[in-house]
Structure 1
Amino acid sequence: MKLVRFGPKGAEKPGMIDGQGTLRDLSGVIDDVAGDVLLPAGLAKLAGLDAATLPTVPGTPRLGPCVGRIGKLVCIGLNYSDHAAEAGVAPPAEPVIFLKANSSICGPDDPILLPRGSQKTDWEVELAFVIGKGGRYIEEADWADHVAGYCVCNDVSERAYQLESTGQWTKGKSADNFAPLGPWLVTADEIADPQALDLWLDVDGVRQQAGNTGTMIFPVREIIAYVSRFMTLEPGDVISTGTPPGVGMGKKPPTYLRKGQTVTLGVDGLGAQRQAVIDWDDRPL
C-alpha cells in the first residue's frame, strides 16, 4: 500500500494511492496515518479494504508528511563510506545517532526555507523507515517485525550551524522544513529488500547524488537493533538512514543551496519530492 496525508498544513487527512494512481480518502476509516494504524493489525485492516469503494480526492491537493503525530525523528549520520570520505572523516565503527526537531518535518513538496543568514544549507537524499510495532532491545533477527514501511527523506542541513563555531548536529539539522517526508509511506510488504534501492537527487535538473542503499555501512536491520539499545522505539517513529555521496559540502569548491533553486529527489519504489528553495522571510503564511 501507498499511504498518504493530504490537505492544508496541520489539517491533513489520511489517504491511499490505489492501483491506478488515484488518491482515495481514508478519513472515513481512520483518523490519521499514525499510531496504532501502523501496527500490523492496523495495516492489515487497511490492506483488506476495497480501494474502489473509497471516495476519490479531486484535483491535486498538497501532500503533507506521510506519517502523522511522529514521536521522534532519529537520523543516522555518515552511513555511507563515500559520504564519510567527502566529509573528511573515517567511516564510523558504530552508527552515529542524532535527532531532528519535529518542527522540521514537512510535506514532500513544501519549500526548503533558508534560515536567516544561512550561507551553507545543503541537501541529503535518504531512505527513511517508519516503526510499526515498537520495542526496546530489539534483536537484529526480528527487525522486519518492527517496520511498518518506508519513505523518502531530504535531510536538509545547515553546515555552518552543524559544524562550525560550537557546532551541534541537531542545531544544524532542525530548522523549519528541514525534513520533508513522503510523498507516501510504502508498506514494508512492497519493498522486497531495503538494501537494494537506488537513491538520487538533482539541483536545478543537474544530478548531484546517485547511490544505492546496498552500500550502507549499517543496514536497516542493524540500525533498528542499535537504536533500540538506547531508546524505546514507538509506532510512528521515523528513522532516516543516511545519505550517499554528492552533498554540497563535498563539492570542490563546496556548493550550497540558493534562493530560487529547485531540488528534486527520490528513492526507487518510494516516489519523488520537489522543493523550491526560498528565504525564511518569503515563506507562505
Structure 2
Amino acid sequence: MRYVSFLKNGATHVGVREGQQLRVLGAFTMEQLLRDGVDLNAFALERHSGEMIDVDAITFLPPLSRPPKIICIGLNFADHTAESNFVQPDYPTIFLRVHTSLVAHDAPIVKPRLSDSLDYEGEIAVVMKKGGRYIGKDDALDYVAGYSLFNDGSVREYQFKTPQWTVGKNFDATGAFGPELVTPDELPEGVRGLRLETLLNGKVVQSANTEDMVFDVASLISITSEAITLEPGDVIVSGTPSGIGWAREPQLFMKGGDTCEVRVEGLGVLRNRIVDETPVA
C-alpha cells in the first residue's frame, strides 16, 4: 500500500494512492493509525469504497507531520564519509531532527537568510509500526510500517559551527519528507538493492545503491533500540551517499529558484522547489 497524508477541507486526511488517484480513508493522521496498532494493509482493504480524488488535486503533507522522534543517521555510506574527511565510525552516527524542520512533497524548502550553504542529502526514511527496546536484528524488520523519501537539507555553515550537528540540521522547513509511506510488501526486504539518486535542477548529483549502506535498516533499528526506546511512528532517516554540495569543488548549494528531487526505485520521487526565506518585517 502507498499511504498519503494530505489536506482536505482544512483537515489532515489519509488516503491510499492507486495510480494517479487517491482513495480517501478518512480524517485522521498516520501517527494515530500507528499509535493504535492498525494493520495498514488490512485497514486500506476494509475501506475499499472510499471517495476517489486526483492526486494532482491534493496538497501533500509529510507522511507524519509530528513523529514522536526523528532519528537521523550520518556517515552511513563510506564514500560520503570519505568526502566529508571523517574516519568511518564503527557505530552509527546518530543525531535528531525536530518536526518543525519538516516539509512535504511539492512544498518549498526554505533557504535561511542567515546562510548560503543549504545543501541536499537524499535519503530513505524508515517508519516504525511498533516500538521496543533491545530489538534483535533478526526481528527488526517486523517493526517497520513502511518507507519514504527524505531530503536532509543541511545548513553546512551552522552544522559545523560546533562539534554537534543539531542546529545545521534543524532550520525550519529544510527537511523534506514524502511523498508516500510505502508498506514493506511493496519493496525488497530492508529496501536492499535499490538505486538512490538526488537531482538538482535535473542533474544527478548523488547516486548510490542501498547495498552500500554501512549499517543496513535492521542494524540501525537494533542498535538504536539498545539506547533509545523506539515508538510507533518514530522515523529513522538512514543516511546519504557521496556527492553533497559541501564536498564539491566548486561547492554546490541549493538556492532560491532551484528544484531538488530525491528518487528511489519503488518509492517514487520527492520533489521540492527552493525559496529564499522572507525577511522579518
TM-score range, shorter chain: over 0.9
In structure 2, C-alpha distance between the alignment counterparts of 1:9 and 1:216, rounded to whole Å? 41
Conserved 8 A contact 1:149-1:188:
yes
Give the equivalent residue in structure 2 for 1:56. Answer: 52
> 1:85-131, CA deviations, whole angstroms, 9 ceiling, x for partnerless residues?
11011111110000011111120221110112211110000011100
Tell me the SS of whatever aligns to 1:222: helix
In structure 2, C-alpha distance between the alignment counterparts of 1:262 and 1:225, rounded to whole Å? 35
Answering whether residue 7 of structure 2 is matched by residue 7 of structure 1, we say: yes
Conserved 8 A contact 2:25-2:47:
no
Q: Pick from 183, 191, 214: which aligns with 1:187?
A: 183
Q: Pick from 82, 90, 106: which aligns with 2:103?
A: 106
Q: Pick from 80, 83, 90: which aligns with 1:86?
A: 83
Deviation at 1:69, TM superposition (A): 3.3
The correspondence of residues 240-251 of structure 1 with structure 2, limited to 5 A, is 240-251=237-248
Q: Pick from 196, 202, 215: which aligns with 1:218?
A: 215
Q: Residues 177 and 84 (structure 1 numbering): CA distance in 2 closer, same or farther, change over 3 Å?
A: same
Give the equivalent residue in structure 1 for 2:129. Answer: 132
Deviation at 1:43, TM superposition (A): 1.6
Conserved 8 A contact 1:4-1:67:
no
In structure 1, C-alpha distance between the alignment counterparts of 2:41 and 2:17, rounded to whole Å? 16
Q: Residues 3 and 217 (structure 1 numbering): CA distance in 2 closer, same or farther, change over 3 Å?
A: same
In structure 1, C-alpha distance between the alignment counterparts of 2:279 and 2:22, rounded to whole Å? 30
Amino acid at match of 2:143: H
Alignment coverage as a number of residue pairs = 278
Higher strand share: 2
> 1:64-85, CA deviations, whole angstroms, 9 ceiling, x for partnerless residues?
1012431010000000000001
Conserved 8 A contact 2:34-2:130:
no
The correspondence of residues 132-211 of structure 1 with structure 2, limited to 5 A, is 132-164=129-161, 166-193=162-189, 194-211=191-208
Tell me the SS of whatever aligns to 2:166: helix
Moved more, 137-146 or 256-265: 256-265
Moved more, 135-144 or 188-197: 188-197
In structure 2, C-alpha distance between the alignment counterparts of 1:210 and 1:14, rounded to whole Å? 31
Give the TM-score normalised by the residue count of structure 2. 0.93
In structure 2, C-alpha distance between the alignment counterparts of 1:119 and 1:56, rounded to whole Å? 42
Q: Residues 177 and 241 (structure 1 numbering): CA distance in 2 closer, same or farther, change over 3 Å?
A: same
Deviation at 1:42, TM superposition (A): 2.9
Which segments of 5 or more consecutive residues in structure 2 lack a partner in the other structure? Answer: none
Conserved 8 A contact 2:141-2:217:
no
In structure 1, C-alpha distance between the alignment counterparts of 2:40 and 2:217, rounded to whole Å? 20
Give the equivalent residue in structure 2 for 1:266. Answer: 263
Answering whether residue 23 of structure 2 is matched by residue 24 of structure 1, we say: yes
Deviation at 1:40, TM superposition (A): 5.9
Q: Residues 235 and 182 (structure 1 numbering): CA distance in 2 closer, same or farther, change over 3 Å?
A: same
**RMSD (CA atoms):** 2.0
Give the TM-score normalised by the residue count of structure 1. 0.92
In structure 2, C-alpha distance between the alignment counterparts of 1:230 and 1:21, rounded to whole Å? 42
Amino acid at match of 1:242: G
Q: Pick from 252, 257, 265: which aligns with 1:255?
A: 252
Q: Residues 15 and 174 (structure 1 numbering): CA distance in 2 closer, same or farther, change over 3 Å?
A: same
Q: Residues 68 and 260 (structure 1 numbering): CA distance in 2 closer, same or farther, change over 3 Å?
A: closer
In structure 1, C-alpha distance between the alignment counterparts of 2:110 and 2:8, rounded to whole Å? 18
Deviation at 1:253, TM superposition (A): 2.1
Deviation at 1:35, TM superposition (A): 3.7
Q: Percent identity?
A: 38
Amino acid at match of 2:134: Y
Which segments of 5 or more consecutive residues in structure 1 lack a partner in the other structure? Answer: none
Amino acid at match of 1:156: G
Amino acid at match of 2:152: D
Give the equivalent residue in structure 2 for 1:73. Answer: 70
Tell me the SS of whatever aligns to 1:169: coil
Conserved 8 A contact 1:63-1:109:
yes
In structure 1, C-alpha distance between the alignment counterparts of 2:9 and 2:135, rounded to whole Å? 34
